[in-house]
Structure 1
Amino acid sequence: MAVRLLSHELSDLCLGKPALRSLSVTSTIADAIEVLKTSDENFVSVWSCNHKKAKTGSGFESAAGFGDDFDDVDDCKCVGKVCMVDVICYLCKDENLVSPSLALKKPVSVLLPKIPGLVIHVEPSCSLLEAIDLILEGAQNLVIPIKTKLSSKRKQHLKPSPTVTIHKGREFCWLTQEDVIRFLLSSIGLFSPIPACSIDALGIISPEILTIEYHSPASAATGAISRALVDQTSVAVVDSEGTLIGEISPFTLACCDETVAAALKTLSSGDLMAYIDCGGPPEDLVRVVSARLKERNLNGMLDHFTMSMTCGGFSSASSSSDEESMTTPVSPLPRSGRISKTTSYSARMVRRSEAIVCHPKSSLIAVMIQAIAHRVNYVWVIEDDCSLVGIVTFSDMLKVFREHLESMA
């Protein structure tokens, strides 16, 4: 039965998926920011397209590249994806903090990770089992052509949206680890008794975690944040004894705007958590960031930051000369009890820096549901005293299901 489930084609998982919004690889970082701020998704796909048309007769060629009298010889490929975290980490570089306006004019291609295979094109007929194998080999997004009513309308030469991909007469969606896990969860009974086993017994708790101490400069975590984005995990914020306090999550940062780079560069890790928490940055921390940018002569970022905060209602951000803002103390270390195991939020709708946690004896299905409910690809594993044990990821879960199938063969 489970083998039959995994023989499903990926087209079954694409039902209802929206067409990708996309950018050309030659678009600027500023273009990417504009698309990300108006999108319901945290990521935007980046495409490299060599559009060529060989005319076979007289006729109309639409802006989308359709035309009955033209032969398609396009070479279009999704070469990666970017999110606001890529922009934030990019702006944290010293040369970009000096002149962010200049940095944002660079092509979006500079943000793409130099890791091959993160985004892969597959056909709709690809099986779920093949998709899982691709994910376990490192793929994060599987790009799949789809048919939509929108595509049909555009074939009638309607002007396309500039951020929806239509290549060779086709639109595309992509599938993620979360999509696959959700699909498996819908038929989880077929894998019995595996889902009821504890994550400890299954051996899927990874001790390889990224951490930073609560009072350490947040800038020290920039590299770890970039790595966590690629690994689809997070950076744990701990106290001096290794107790989990919270996290600096790419999933949370992706819901912010690019000016968080200023906070990442000037605040402590603990204060950064408060800065990116739901409800917007506290006004006292806005003043601290503004003052420290001025102190370090980062006038380009200061101007960009002040303008953004003023538009967002924090007009006091411009008061960077206020001596009080220079000496605003960091927020006190919160008690480990602040971690809530019942907190539920959508990573796109609400921003939180509280970590999603489970225990070593938690069942696999419980952890799956927890991660899906919170729209994250991982769950931290802690002991009763909140000491950090490790992390469980969607990839770890998929390995369990894949090994279970192999044992049945």
Structure 2
Amino acid sequence: MAVGLLSHKVSDLCLGKPPVLSIPLVSTVGDALIALRTSQDGCVSVWSCCCCFFDTAHPVEEEEEEEGEENKEGACRCLGKLCMVDVICYLSEEKNLLSPSAALRAPVSVLLPKSPDRVAHVEANASLLEAIDLILKGAQALVVPIQRGRASGTWKKQHQWQSPEKGRHQFCWLTSEDIIRFLLNSIGILYPLPALSIDSLGIITAETLMVGYHSPASSALDAIRLSHANQTSVAVVDSDGNLIGEISPHTLACCDETVAAAIAVLSCGDLMAYIDCGGPPDDLVKVVEARLKERNMERFLEEFSMYNESSNSSSSSLAASSSDEEFSTSPSRTRSWGGGKYSKSLSYTARMVRRSEAIVCQPRSSLVAVMIQAIAHRVNYVWVIEDDGSFAGIVTFSSMLEVFGEHLRQLAMA
């Protein structure tokens, strides 16, 4: 049975996954923002070649793919994976808050991580262990080629995108969540490892990113960026260091770009309420508006209103061509300030959002129980709390994969 698990290839984990939505490196931040609003999974890839682009005006028909057969494999390369968190953190910088229109005209490269190892290309026949090793080396996502026949033509036409290589291959993402989910489906083969406690396995990390409940949200910006890069979260604690909640990149990824204004003027505690499931409370929206006026920063909202009107036609053409009723009739078609997640994206309803309450476990929790918790809430981590309520640390998918990787290697040698 163990041999069967080890025989699986990366392609087995990618079955049914949609192709990545892509834009070229010559795009602007504004282009990335438009693409993100239509992305099914809330992500967009940036490529180094000119043959891949997101284009709402010139859809690619199924037969056009044949023209690209002569394209050479490897001519294009994915440079990064972007989501709304990257845009929000970028717009939260003071210079961009003062001139958002200029920020949106900046090249998309300003959003890309400085480390090129965040994304790694992998062949479809790579082994499960090879994929785990790349994740442990720092890759947030693996770019895997998928057969053209496996991609959904209906999905592609609906979203009107061009693949990085119009010929032989399209690509999909493979993440640590995909690998953990795959291992969970084969959990019996890995016994007794899954039944052991996370404490006994030594995978609880005590060093975590923390901010005070009453601290300015702007002071947490670097921590948010780092947690996004490391696929963790920022703990919000009280004066005694007890965990109250979190500012999670997973939650921010389901918000719209105007959250940058809230980060500039709210406390960390208020920001948790602002980005919480259900959209920001009206009183907090009014607080943000008032504080922006006090700082002579109303221009941020005004310029975004104008930008949204000008870019709305591109998104409208995309929605009008869709045969998916939910996609084309979503109330999020109308964008307005203060709408939070519920005014953000054409594809919002297709993605899970959750509250800012931290997902927690205890040191004696079993590995399999923590895996199920994380997957159920679509996060890459779970906070660890002692019996007395004190904060113990965090356990992540990366630490789980370290344990599973070592266990699989031992199985391979047995």
Do the structures match in fold with TM over 0.5?
Answer: yes
CA distance in 1 between counterparts of 2:365 and 2:240 reads: 24
Q: What pairs with 1:72-83 in structure 2 (closer than 5 Å)?
A: 72=72, 75-83=75-83
Q: Counting helix residues as a fraction of each chain, which structure ranks higher? A: 2
Residues in 1 aligned to 2:283 and 2:152: alpha-carbon distance in whole angstroms: 52
Q: In the alignment, is the contact (CA less than 8 A) between 2:76 and 2:165 conserved in 1? A: no
2:403 alignment counterpart: 400
Q: Which residue in 1 is equivalent to 2:329? A: none
Deviation at 1:313, TM superposition (A): 7.5
Q: Deviations over 1:42-65 (max 9, x none)?
A: 22111111559xxxxxxxx99956
**1:312 counterpart = 2:336:** yes
- Partners of 2:179 and 2:76 in 1: how far apart? 25
Partner SS for 2:48: strand
The alpha-carbon distance between structure 1 residues 69 and 366, as it changes in their structure 2 partners (threshold 3 A), is: closer
Shift of 1:302: 3.6
Instruction: State the Cα deviation string for residues 271-302 of structure 1 (Å, max 9, x = none).
Output: 00000001111111111111111111123214
- Per the alignment, residue 266 of structure 1 pairs with 265
The whole-number CA distance in structure 1 between the counterparts of 2:69 and 2:148 is 23
Greater length-normalized contact order (CA 8 Å, ≥ 6 residues apart): 2
Distance 1:314 1:138 in 2: 35
In the alignment, residue 7 of structure 1 is paired with which amino acid? S
Distance (whole Å) between structure 2 residues aligned to residue 406 and residue 246 of structure 1: 37
Percent identity reads 62
* Partner residue in 1 for 2:89: 89
Which residue is 1:379 aligned to?
382
> What is the DSSP-based 3-state SS (H/G/I as helix, E as strand, rest coil) of the residue aligned with 1:49?
coil
| 3-state secondary structure, aligned to 1:184 | helix
Partner of 1:195: 194
Counterpart CA distance in 1 for 2:69 and 2:238 is 67
**Cα deviation, residue 303, structure 1:** 1.8
Query: Alpha carbons of 1:12 and 1:24: their partners in 2 closer, same or farther (altered >3 Å)?
Result: same
Post-superposition Cα deviations, 1:14-35, rounded to whole Å, max 9, x if no partner, equal 1111111111111111121122
1:68/1:96 CA distance change after superposition, 3 Å: closer
Match of 1:111 in 2: 111
Query: 1:7, 1:133 → 2: CA distance?
Result: 16
Residue 134 of structure 1 corresponds to which residue in structure 2?
134
1:165-219 Cα offsets, whole Å, 9 max, x none, are 4444311111100000111111111111110000000000001200000000011
Task: Tell me, yes or no, if the aligned pair for 2:231 and 2:380 is still in contact at 8 Å.
Answer: yes
Report how far residue 370 of structure 1 moved. 0.4
Q: Is the 8 A contact 2:38 2:159 kept in 1?
A: no
1:287 to 1:160, Cα distance in 2 relative to 1, 3 A: closer
Q: Deviations over 1:386-406 (max 9, x none)?
A: 321100000111111122234
Asked if 1 retains the 8 angstrom alpha-carbon contact of 2:47 and 2:78, the reply is yes
CA gap 1:260/1:51 in 2 versus in 1, 3 angstroms: closer
1:4-403 to structure 2, matched below 5 A, reads 4-50=4-50, 66-67=66-67, 72=72, 75-149=75-149, 161-162=160-161, 164-304=163-303, 311-312=335-336, 348-403=351-406
SS of residue paired to 1:76: coil
**1:175 is paired with a residue of what secondary structure?**
strand
- Judged with a 3 Å threshold, the aligned counterparts in structure 2 of structure 1 residues 152 and 394 are, in CA distance, closer, same or farther, namely closer
Q: Which amino acid aligns with 1:312?
A: S
Alpha-carbon distance change, 3 to 304 in structure 1, aligned in 2, over 3 angstroms: farther
Tell me if the contact between 2:91 and 2:100 (Cα under 8 Å) persists in the aligned partners. yes
* Structure 2: segments with no counterpart, 5+ residues: 53-60, 309-331, 340-348
Task: State the Cα distance separating 1:164 from its structure 2 match.
Answer: 4.3
**Distance in 1 between the 2:162 and 2:42 partners?**
14
Q: Matches of 1:135 and 1:165 in 2, distance apart?
A: 23
Distance in 2 (CA, whole Å) between partners of 1:282 and 1:163 is 39
Indicate the SS of the match to 2:31.
Answer: helix
Cα deviation code 1:120-148 (max 9, x no counterpart):
11111101111111111111211111124
For residues 90 and 51 of structure 1, the distance between their equivalents in structure 2, rounded to whole angstroms, comes to: 27
Pairwise CA RMSD: 2.9
Point out the more displaced range, 140-149 or 15-24. 140-149
Is the 8 Å Cα contact of residues 68 and 166 (structure 2) preserved in structure 1? no
Q: Is contact 2:250–2:379 with CA below 8 Å preserved after alignment?
A: yes
Query: How big is the shift at 1:159?
Result: 12
The answer to whether the Cα contact below 8 Å between 1:140 and 1:177 also exists between their aligned partners in 2 is yes
- Greater shift in the superposed pair: 194-203 or 168-177: 168-177
TM-score by length of structure 2 reads: 0.82
Q: How has the CA–CA distance of structure 1 residues 243 and 170 changed in structure 2, closer, same or farther, with 3 Å as cutoff?
A: same
Q: Which amino acid in structure 1 is aligned with residue 15 of structure 2?
A: L
User: What's the CA shift for 1:97?
Assistant: 0.5
Instruction: Give how far 1:265 is off.
Output: 0.8
- Which structure has the larger Rg over C-alpha atoms? 1
The 1:4/1:70 distance shift into structure 2, 3 A limit, reads: closer
Counterpart AA for 1:106: A
Structure 1: stretches of 5+ with no match in the other structure: 53-60, 316-345
SS at match of 1:120: strand
Distance 2:300 2:109 in 1: 22
d(CA) in 2 for partners of 1:193, 1:51: 49
Change (3 A) 1:153 1:262: closer
